[in-house]
Amino acid sequence: GRFGIFGGQYAPEALITCLDELDAGFQAALNDPTFWAELKSYYPYMGRPSSLHLAKRLTEHAGGAKIWLKREDLNHTGSHKINNALGQILIARRLGKTEIIAETGAGQHGVATATVCAKFGMKCTIYMGAEDVRRQALNVFRIRLLGATVIPVESGSRTLRDAVNEAFRAWIVRLDTTHYIIGSAIGPHPFPTMVRTFQSVIGEETKTQLRDLGKSPDAVIACVGGGSNATGMFYPFSDDPSVQLVGVEASGDGLETARHSATLSGGSVGVLHGVRTYVLQDEHGQISNTHSVSAGLDYPGVGPELANWKQSNRAKFLSATDAQALQGFRLLSQLEGIIPALETSHAVWGAIETAKELGPNKDLVLCLSGRGDKDVQSVADELPNL
Ligand SMILES: Cc1ncc(COP(=O)(O)O)c(/C=N/[C@H](C(=O)O)[C@@H](O)C(C)C)c1O
């Protein structure tokens, strides 16, 4: 599982056997038409296909290209995370696993995982940084209501990277009964390929929906945390150079400060959570602490496929500060009546900038990765004059 110089399996020996078993199960499913039929049979449950429509007032505000919205926020549980959680739990069931664990930061992946575990009757344990348990309390409540156990992680920065560490530690002692549903396009092979495969439904539907309107996009844009909604939107267009792929990372207090999470814009090649990719690290290779107003982008790594598209210049990466993301949050709410997740708000700001750059008579699709209910409490403090 290589993406240029990126990817691979930088994992302890004890994990390799399990990763090989997972890869074999995934490859077998990919080549089994009944697997895809079964996955598609849950589309009504998931709310697929998600809608695609023009954002008229946002387009007028930007004054450039038409901005189309791919409404992954309308999926069941409120984000794109259900696409990956459902695909992976079907693989886990084919492998005879009876228990599921997962990490979460924004809590959306935790909710999606708890949801599919309830649906398929599997025991579910979610690892979540204690800081994220605090700032995404609504999702913690939902996860517990769905019957899953939330384990607050007190180590390190008490955010996503610590939750991933804890989840791997928990997984390695019960590989035979348990599958780890990784929430983003990160981790050792086959995880980045598997997550991108299950998220590619976003780009595939977008391509068809625009074609039915007699159009093809000049650019597609998505926010980047670990990279799952971005690779899912980008991958189906990656072999068509006429479509620009634009990722938007979180530059927090500013790229020039130490408080950001813009791994591709401000990081360097390294290894994190079992994969070679771009990371935010100090001169000794120690992984840096990160900051973002959005829990879902607050991560010092990124998927290896995006790292490769950066290196090959197939994709370009912008970043939005906390303040710019909060502007995006407010603009989509007040121009389109859609309250986006703080993660998605970074891509809203990036879409406005990109639409200006593209100019009129062009079409840009924004992957609306999630809804903002989980964030309104924390945003209220940041936007006092609302
Ligand atoms: C609504 C929404 N939009 C974008 C993201 C960024 O994750 P990617 O799409 O994997 O880059 C997220 C990430 N959320 C994860 C979570 O809910 O746990 C994230 O924190 C971790 C799985 C990485 C999200 O919730």
The reply to whether ligand 1 has any atom less than 6 angstroms from the CB of 106 is yes
Residue type present at position 318: L
Alpha-carbon gap, residue 255 to 266, rounded angstroms? 7
Alpha-carbon gap, residue 88 to 310, rounded angstroms? 27
Is 369 a residue of the active site?
Answer: yes
* pLDDT given at position 386: 61
What is the per-residue pLDDT across 118-152, written as a single tens digit (0 to 9) for each? 999 999 999 999 988 988 888 999 999 999 999 99
How many whole angstroms from 20 Cα to the centroid of ligand 1?
26
* pLDDT given at position 381: 77
How many whole angstroms from 184 Cα to the centroid of ligand 1?
7
User: Regarding beta strands 275-279 and 268-272, do their DSSP bridges make them parallel or antiparallel, or are they unpaired?
Assistant: antiparallel
Alpha-carbon gap, residue 352 to 331, rounded angstroms? 10
Asked whether the predicted pLDDT for residue 1 surpasses 80, the reply is no
Of 81, 97, 207, 374, which one is the catalytic site residue? Answer: 81
What is the per-residue pLDDT across 155-208, written as a single tens digit (0 to 9) for each? 988 888 889 999 999 999 999 999 999 999 999 999 999 999 999 999 999 999
The reply to whether ligand 1 has any atom less than 6 angstroms from the CB of 292 is no
What is the per-residue pLDDT across 293-314, written as a single tens digit (0 to 9) for each? 998 998 999 999 999 999 999 9
Asked whether the predicted pLDDT for residue 3 surpasses 70, the reply is yes
As given in the structure block, the two tokens for residue 129 are 């940084």
**Beta carbons within 10 angstroms of residue 172's beta carbon:** 15
The reply to whether ligand 1 has any atom less than 6 angstroms from the CB of 304 is no
What is the per-residue pLDDT across 260-276, written as a single tens digit (0 to 9) for each? 999 999 999 999 999 99
Of 79, 228, 319, 369, which one is the catalytic site residue? Answer: 369
How many whole angstroms from 227 Cα to the centroid of ligand 1?
8
Q: Which atom of ligand 1 is nearest to the CA of 228?
A: 10
Is 103 a residue of the active site?
Answer: yes
CA-nearest of 253, 76, 263 to 186 is 263
Of 66, 79, 97, 103, which one is the catalytic site residue? Answer: 103
Q: What b/e sequence results for 249-264 when a residue is b if at least 16 CB atoms lie within 10 Å of its CB, and e otherwise?
A: bbbbeeeeeeebbbbb
Our measurement of the distance from residue 343's CA atom to the centroid of its chain's CA atoms, rounded to an integer in Å, reads 9
Could you give the maximum distance between any two Cα atoms of the chain, in Å? 56
What is the per-residue pLDDT across 46-62, written as a single tens digit (0 to 9) for each? 999 999 999 999 999 99
Q: Are 277 and 264 in contact (CB under 8 A)?
A: no
The reply to whether ligand 1 has any atom less than 6 angstroms from the CB of 295 is yes
| Alpha helices for the chain (secondary structure H) | 13-30, 33-41, 43-46, 56-62, 81-94, 108-120, 130-135, 137-145, 160-171, 191-199, 201-211, 228-234, 263-266, 304-311, 322-336, 342-358, 376-382
- Ligand 1, atom 15, lies closest to the CA of 296
- Ligand 1, atom 19, lies closest to the CA of 296
Angle ∠(359,364,365) on CA atoms, nearest 5:
165
What is the per-residue pLDDT across 88-114, written as a single tens digit (0 to 9) for each? 999 999 999 999 999 999 899 999 999
CA-nearest of 191, 233, 226 to 71 is 233
Using only the alpha carbons of the chain, give its radius of gyration.
19
DSSP 8-state class, residue 51: P
